[in-house]
Structure 1
Amino acid sequence: MTYSAKIIKGGKIVIPAELRRELGFAEGDRVYLERREDGGIIVRSHADVIRDLQRAVRESITKPFTVDDFIAEKRAEAARE
Structure 2
Amino acid sequence: MTHQINVTPNGRMSLPADIRRRLGLNEGGAIYLDETDDGVILRTAAQAVARAQALAKRYTGDNPDASVDAFLAKRREESGE
Q: Which TM-score tier does this pair reach, normalised by the shorter chain? A: 0.5 to 0.7
- In structure 1, list runs of 5 or more residues that go unmatched: none
1:55 match:
54
Give the CA deviation at 1:43: 0.9
CA contact (8 A) 1:4 1:16 kept: no
Structure 2 equivalent of residue 45 of structure 1? 44
TM-score by length of 1: 0.63
What does residue 5 of structure 1 align with? 5
Alpha carbons of structure 1 residues 7 and 27: separation in structure 2 relative to 1, 3 Å: farther
TM-score of the aligned structures, taking structure 2 as reference length: 0.63
Q: Per-residue deviation at 1:35?
A: 1.7
In structure 2, the CA distance between the partners of 1:34 and 1:77, relative to structure 1 (3 Å rule), is closer
The one-letter amino acid of 1:42's match is I
Relative to structure 1, the CA distance from residue 13 to residue 77 in structure 2 (aligned partners, 3 Å threshold; closer, same or farther) is closer
Give the percent of matched residue pairs that are identical in Structure 1 and Structure 2.
Answer: 27
The residue type paired with residue 49 of structure 1 is A
Quote the residue 2:19 is aligned against. Answer: 19
**Corresponding residue SS for 1:52:** helix
Aligned-CA RMSD value: 2.9
Unaligned stretches of 5+ residues in structure 2: none
Larger Rg: 1
Higher strand share: 1
